[in-house]
Chains A and B, each alone.
Chain A
């Protein structure tokens, strides 16, 4: 998920994304941002932060642990706001959403040839596996 510098909530979203790096998928040992599970953050509502995200597998037994983790870390940064985690299955998650750092942690070879990938997390560019 990329955050545009022109976004009116750029700073808030950066803080939230940094916090979300602390939420780790217990099966893969990689944080959910680098896994590309976070699709969007919405600060438009005054009292609520809406996180749109997915899971690598529907009905993942670890799903509740991950969404709880999201609420936990965002509650620390924004204690007065309600955290609304919305799980979606479209667009479907696949490995092309994993960032280069995530790939490295998973032992996936990252080639130097790069291409533009809007799905890559935080960074504008990711590499072909």
Chain B
């Protein structure tokens, strides 16, 4: 099997804008948090909070995940990315859509701006699905990772479609059911469909790669895929036709069982790893998993609790805990390699060149971690205890986290070749 094509990563022009823009949106999110801390005391359906949630989900989470996925899809699917041009196009639609949506929610201008924003996001998600589908080859060579990636992309399209319908409904009401009930379905399609399944699929390929680990428990991943999707489909169908009832716990149980199967697989990889020295960034993975499990534990409180603060704490653990932790850590496991590959690839072996790990400021990353480890529990505590001062103080630390992160991302992206 000589002369096998080892593939080429997509160009930096395709990938780097996602990372850079994601960092700016994260900074914006934390500034919003600082400027509007009282938002977190109210109900979840309010303009500023909706703006923050969409900044976190689209501008921050989806933006960075799109960029990382376009880089990693070829690794996971063992073939080149279907279309770099489509990837770049999705960047423009996602960025403009996020700006339109965030602005329309913050000012609460329903109508053209909000509907345009929703439409742009839907186009971006369709372009992403096209790239994922064509690159993964629709599971011809069966791999559960490919199934996770394609299903997550489909869930993203479902989420964006429902979101667009909700945006239209705010201006031109046509949905017969409760807008807020559909909003819950929209949110969970995004969380348990898009984010959870993408992270599950990608992590089961990347964690063994980073740790040089392996597991023969592939069966667990197939169960994980089946349980997560069955639970989510049942939740959405039952929720749509019958409303949110106690049966939500049955579906939650299925999704949690799927998550546990996935985590057992990762634990097995960790136990059977060759690389014993753990990278600093892997600490973020631990926090991310803890935050995800905490958010699961909060669901009964969200459902039964008369106090709407539970829903906000739940959102904090999901967006600023689970999703943000994985991005804050994994950015510096992927971005420096992407930049290094372009700047130094042709110089490898020629002389002393910096390694990817030396492209970012390690002390800044350490401070970012310390601040983050303080900011997350403080914010959750402040909301839980109804103490505005703690929420405000945590807001300052969140801005510091985002500023340190953005600075380090800029250092990597604008790195000049030293040799």
Contacts and interface: CB of A to CB of B under 8 A. Distances in A.
B175 interface: no
Contacts of B108: none
Contacts of A98: 274
B1 A88 contact: yes
B21 interface: no
Interface string B143-162: 00000000000000000000
10 contacts: A27-B337, A28-B212, A57-B75, A59-B79, A61-B337, A72-B347, A89-B1, A94-B214, A98-B274, A106-B212
Nearest to B340: A26
A119 interface: no
B176 interface: no
Given A59-B79, A61-B71, A26 B2 contact: no
Given A67-B6, A95-B274, A26 B74 contact: no
B3 A107 contact: no
A62 interface: yes
Interface in A61-86: 61-70, 72-73, 86
A124 B357 CA distance: 33
Contacts of A86: 2-3
A42 to B, nearest CB: 11
B340 A64 contact: no
B348 A68 contact: yes
Contacts of B356: 26-27
A58 B78 contact: yes
Nearest to B2: A86
A129 B275 CA distance: 11
Interface of B: 1-4, 6-9, 71, 74-75, 77-79, 209-210, 212, 214, 274-277, 337-338, 340-341, 344-350, 355-357
From B6, B344, B355, residue with most partner A Cβ within 10 Å? B6
A55 interface: yes
A108 B276 contact: yes
Given A28-B275, A57-B75, A61-B9, 11 more contacts: A24-B348, A29-B355, A57-B209, A58-B78, A59-B7, A59-B78, A61-B71, A68-B349, A72-B348, A87-B3, A109-B276
Interface residues of A, number: 39
Determine which residue in A27, A89, A107 has the highest number of CB atoms from chain B within 10 A of its CB, and name it.
Answer: A27
Contacts of A58: 4, 6, 78
A60 B75 contact: yes
A128 B357 CA distance: 29
Given A52-B2, A59-B79, A64-B8, A73 B274 contact: no
Contacts of B338: 61
A26 B337 contact: yes
A80 B32 CA distance: 62
B4 A89 contact: yes
B348 A65 contact: yes
Contact of A88 (B4, B337, B341, B350): B4
